[in-house]
Structure 1
Amino acid sequence: MRKVFIASAKRTAVSPINGAFRNLEISDLAAPVFSALTDNLGLAGDQIDQVIMGNALYGGGNPARVAALAADFPESLPAMTIDTQCCSGLDAILLGASMIRSGVADVVIAGGVESYSRAPRRFQRAKTPNGVDQEYERPPFTPWPDRDPDMLEAAAALAKTGSMSRVQQEEFAIESHRKALINKENNAAEIVSVAGVQSDSASRNLSHKLCSRLPVIAGDNEFGLTSATVALKADAAAAVLLVSETALLKLDKTPAKPVELVAGLSLGSDPEQPALAPIFGVRQLLKDRAIEVPQIKVLEVMEAFAVQAMECLSQTGLDLAAFNVGGGALARGHPIGASGAINAVRLFHQLQSCSAGSYGLATIAAAGGLSSTLLLQR
């Protein structure tokens, strides 16, 4: 099996729904990221073998192909879009890595893109000629309605059964925002300016006083979720440049230190407890690779819900000091199909300042009880 490296990693800023990116199509978000990746390495479009992007809300078509053409890549370059909901961006990277390992490709751009602002409205056709088409917010994630919970309600139930109080969740969110604000200037190397936006805009000085005034949106007053403890819907794109060892040696320039993509794992678990899925993925991947928790120097764990990340840390024993050092999705927002790729981009850049041999891990959950986990090594 051939080795796989990330030679470059870029993303847009994350903008809340109906914010600065509200009028941009997803190709407008992804194309500048593609161009930045190739320009960063002096790579021509005809040197790329495949483009793979994750997306959850587009409603069909192949937006990866549209974005590749918008980036002026050759018409001969194939591109594919995958949908595993929140795992999509990270799964695209794992798929690209598998293509390189198997020898099918040497250079792959992979990541995710999402626009809540421009997501199409979706309708289920009526079953009878005189019936009315029904608009829906989300498709089913299991074939069993009684085992396909609303994500908010599932997270609220998890908070209650795990005794994660509203106050504890709020403290977790406050810390995420605090870290994001402190490290905001350190994100410049990873962010591509789009529409003049060069930094994440949702981070703020969140306080206990403000959190206490927010209404509960799911669950009860003691353990319930609020807008502070649930990641905002958002727009963004992120991607990495995956290369084989042979391709890496041929690059004209490598401004960043290449990072090896050591392993990845996509795993399914109980669809009624989707927030717990990363716990099993992390445990399995570390076991498969014989990696001990103290060896993980940098962590990027998705914060779709405060309680989700809290449970992942608690049940895996991952080091809080290494966790989301620049803040997480609670402080940025959650552009579903792009979120896993954003975590991978952030992991790559954080490993740049780590010593050789250091490991970094990213993990994310998705509706239906899915998780994707990525292991990198500097």
Structure 2
Amino acid sequence: MLDAYIYDGLRSPFGRYVGALATVRADDLVATVMKALVEKHQLSADIFDEVLLGSANQAGEDSRNIARNAALLAGLDVTTPGQTVNRLCASGLSTVVDAARSITCNEGDIILAGGVESMTRAPFVFAKTEQPFSRDFKVFDTTIGSRFPNPKIIEQFGSDTMPQTGDNVAQKYGITREEADKFAAASQAKYQAAKQAGFFNDEITPITVPQGKKLPAKVVIDDEHPRASSNIEALQKLKPLNKDGIVTAGNASGINDGAAALIIGSKQAEKKLGFKPIAKILSSGAMGVEPNIMGVGPVEAIKLALKRAGLSLEDMSVIEINEAFASQVLGCLKGLDIDFDDKRVNPNGGAIAVGHPLGASGTRIALSTARELQRTGGKYAVVSLCIGIGQGLAMVIERV
């Protein structure tokens, strides 16, 4: 079996809901990132054996296999196949895992793996009627959460919203509002420190957004979601989203637009690409949990991925757990017996600061973590995300 490596990657700035990227289609957004990655390394249009893109929504402009559409929009050779992957919040990491599997099975040498989400442009949808002339229309906002839920699933597992699952984790693991707000403030502070140090400069590619016929195009270069002024005092003033809960808009991830892409290849691919890889993909693990505490999915997924890699948490230089909610990450840390202040955890901030465009987050985390290992000289890292409906996905990488 062949080994799989992360060679390089880029991402867009992450926009706020109805923000700077609101007018950009998801397929155009990720195609821009893909094209920038190809141009950065002066790669040929037929270099990739496949394009794998994660997308959690797929209800509007991102429907009909966004991976194939983006490959065509990016100017890749028409013979390059594309496949869209949906594991909700972990879609962008699933593509990396799937690319690695293809390479280890010798069914591909160089694969572009990534993800995208335009939560701003997620449409409203309603079902066709079951009887003629019926006016019983129920409309769903596809931005986040379930649509057309199966009554049997609701009866057996409930219908908690994502913020409710964050509060469920807080209750189960005894996470306090103060602890959640402290973690959220730290995420914002770590992001700002990383930005000031120039950490994100080499991973973000600018996005040009037309402003109409009479105005010059706007070039978006910075993440919109981070709040430099965020602190514990300000966070404590926010009202919880649920009665008696601790999840607020300040200690939860955002609703965002963004895209990211990675070049995944075998060791032999180095000759074709003309540059060296930055990390080796060692293992992955996915596990299911009760849907109403979906946020702790990373706990068992991390344990499984580490077991498959023959490593332990003590071996990890970086531990990335996607920040859907502060309470959820803290619940995972308790489940893994990791101190809340462990400096290995999300060292450059997380989704509470940068945002969480669902299909793109997993790719962003993999890219940033591989770059963090390069920056610090650390050896191993584990990256993970919780997933709606009760799952977790994790991947272990090694700096090369």
Q: What TM-score results when the alignment is normalised by the length of structure 2?
A: 0.89
Q: How big is the shift at 1:169?
A: 0.7
Deviates more, 1:14-23 or 1:269-278: 269-278
Aligned pair partner of 1:213 in 218, 223, 237: 237
Deviates more, 1:65-74 or 1:146-155: 146-155
C-alpha spacing 1:268/1:141, structure 2 compared with 1 (3 Å): farther
Q: In 2, are the aligned partners of 1:42 and 1:253 still within 8 Å (CA)?
A: no
Residue in 2 aligned with 1:189?
202
Residue in 2 aligned with 1:267?
287
Residue in 2 aligned with 1:291?
311
**For residues 371 and 141 of structure 1, what CA distance do their matches in structure 2 show?**
22
Residue in 1 aligned with 2:10?
10
| CA deviation profile, 1:210-255 (whole Å, cap 9, x unmatched) | 22221111241xx42111011110000011100111112332234x
Residue in 2 aligned with 1:85?
88
Q: Which secondary structure does the structure 2 equivalent of 1:238 belong to? A: strand
Residue in 1 aligned with 2:368?
346
**For residues 376 and 234 of structure 2, what CA distance do their matches in structure 1 show?**
36
**For residues 209 and 262 of structure 1, what CA distance do their matches in structure 2 show?**
41
Opposite residue 224 of structure 2, the aligned amino acid is S
Q: Which secondary structure does the structure 2 equivalent of 1:68 belong to? A: helix
Structure 2 residues not aligned, in runs of 5+: 209-218
Residue in 1 aligned with 2:270?
248
Opposite residue 208 of structure 1, the aligned amino acid is I
Residue in 2 aligned with 1:308?
328
**For residues 344 and 189 of structure 1, what CA distance do their matches in structure 2 show?**
14
**For residues 16 and 250 of structure 2, what CA distance do their matches in structure 1 show?**
14
Q: In 2, are the aligned partners of 1:16 and 1:235 still within 8 Å (CA)?
A: yes
Residue in 1 aligned with 2:226?
203
Deviates more, 1:191-200 or 1:50-59: 191-200
How many aligned positions are there? 373
Q: How big is the shift at 1:13?
A: 1.1
**For residues 143 and 372 of structure 1, what CA distance do their matches in structure 2 show?**
25
Matched, 1:49 2:26: no
C-alpha spacing 1:2/1:179, structure 2 compared with 1 (3 Å): same
Q: Which secondary structure does the structure 1 equivalent of 2:129 belong to? A: coil
Residue in 2 aligned with 1:280?
300
Structure 1 residues not aligned, in runs of 5+: none
**For residues 143 and 371 of structure 1, what CA distance do their matches in structure 2 show?**
23
C-alpha spacing 1:4/1:141, structure 2 compared with 1 (3 Å): farther
Q: How big is the shift at 1:351?
A: 1.5
**For residues 193 and 294 of structure 1, what CA distance do their matches in structure 2 show?**
37
Opposite residue 174 of structure 1, the aligned amino acid is A
Opposite residue 360 of structure 1, the aligned amino acid is A
Q: In 1, are the aligned partners of 2:53 and 2:85 still within 8 Å (CA)?
A: yes
Q: How big is the shift at 1:258?
A: 2.5
**For residues 338 and 113 of structure 2, what CA distance do their matches in structure 1 show?**
27
**For residues 98 and 142 of structure 1, what CA distance do their matches in structure 2 show?**
36
Q: Which secondary structure does the structure 2 equivalent of 1:20 belong to? A: coil
Residue in 2 aligned with 1:34?
34
Q: In 1, are the aligned partners of 2:283 and 2:308 still within 8 Å (CA)?
A: no
Opposite residue 104 of structure 1, the aligned amino acid is E
| CA deviation profile, 1:43-89 (whole Å, cap 9, x unmatched) | 21212100000101131311111111111111111001111110111
**For residues 158 and 315 of structure 1, what CA distance do their matches in structure 2 show?**
11
Give runs of aligned pairs for residues 300-339 of structure 1, distance below 5 A: 300-318=320-338, 320-339=342-361
CA RMSD after TM alignment: 1.7
Q: What TM-score results when the alignment is normalised by the length of structure 1?
A: 0.94
Q: How big is the shift at 1:143?
A: 4.5
Q: How big is the shift at 1:318?
A: 4.3
Deviates more, 1:260-269 or 1:3-12: 260-269
Aligned-residue sequence identity (percent) comes to: 27
**For residues 393 and 172 of structure 2, what CA distance do their matches in structure 1 show?**
24
Q: Which secondary structure does the structure 1 equivalent of 2:343 belong to? A: helix
Q: In 1, are the aligned partners of 2:93 and 2:363 still within 8 Å (CA)?
A: yes
Matched, 1:74 2:77: yes
Give runs of aligned pairs for residues 85-124 of structure 1, distance below 5 A: 85-124=88-127
